[in-house]
Structure 1
Amino acid sequence: MLDTTQSEAAPPQEEPRGCLFALSQPPLMIFLAVIGCLLLTAALHDLLWL
């Protein structure tokens, strides 16, 4: 029978955090949403009212 006990299990190492982790942060998403809304507003203003 196989021994399934974890007598010398290595602790999990931290994985490197990439771009998707950075984009998942709420303050960054709020900042990008505000900038996107400002750009959209400026584009619509130029297209519709000028």
Structure 2
Amino acid sequence: MELEISDFQGCKIALFCGDKLLTILRDDKDDIPCPNMWELPGGDCVIIMIGA
């Protein structure tokens, strides 16, 4: 899967603890984008419509 910059909407944050960068290891599941890869905390924007 190849991702384009325009495929992402949201935000990420770089968190430091002293001189260490905190990251998240994604689940190793075939049904999610970029499985088993390291990433920064944050996420995409999800709009939930209830009763619309």
TM-score, L = length of structure 1: 0.16
Answer 1 or 2: higher relative contact order, Cα 8 Å, separation at least 6.
Answer: 2
Pick the structure with more strand per residue.
2
Pick the structure with more helix per residue.
1
